[in-house]
Homo-oligomer: A and B are copies of this chain.
Amino acid sequence: MNLSQILILAKETQATESMTNAAGSGSHLILLITVFVLAVFIGFEIITKIPPTLHTPLMSGSNAISGITLVGALLTALAGEPFLVRIFGTLAIILATMNVVGGFLVTHRMLGMFRKKG
């Protein structure tokens, strides 16, 4: 239940109606977009601080994070009744898991080399 729904109950007063109009973030979509924009800012701020030495591990590490599609794949595979959906879901799971597991491991291997001398 969100503001708009509460305020539907209070529709009688013209006052609150105008509020629904302007309260902002009325829609789910705009919130998702806000989250997207903020996350991009965080990405930029953090990545620009990473020293060149760590750029290759960063590349493989962030690549592993992009395997987050795995969560989407799981949701789809769990949701899908039609045969094709399950096949697609399972295929996506295999691919995304490789991306995730391989990406993190290879990054770990690389970083291990940096640490040895420490």
Residues of B within 8 A of A23 (CB): 75
Instruction: Name the distance in Å between A53's Cβ and chain B's nearest Cβ.
Output: 20
Report whether A22 and B81 are in contact in the complex, using a CB–CB cutoff of 8 Å. no
Number of identical protomers? 2
Chain B residue with the shortest CB-CB distance to A29: B2
A76 to B77, CA, bound (A): 46
CB-CB contacts of A13-24 with B at 8 A, as 1s and 0s?
Answer: 111101100110
B75 and A19 form a contact (CB under 8 A): yes
Render A61-88 as a binary contact track against B, CB cut-off 8 A, 1 for contact: 0000000000000010011110000000
Minimum distance in angstroms from A54 CB to a CB of chain B? 17
Q: List 9 A-B contacts (CB under 8 A).
A: A1-B28, A14-B81, A15-B78, A15-B79, A15-B80, A22-B78, A25-B32, A35-B38, A45-B46
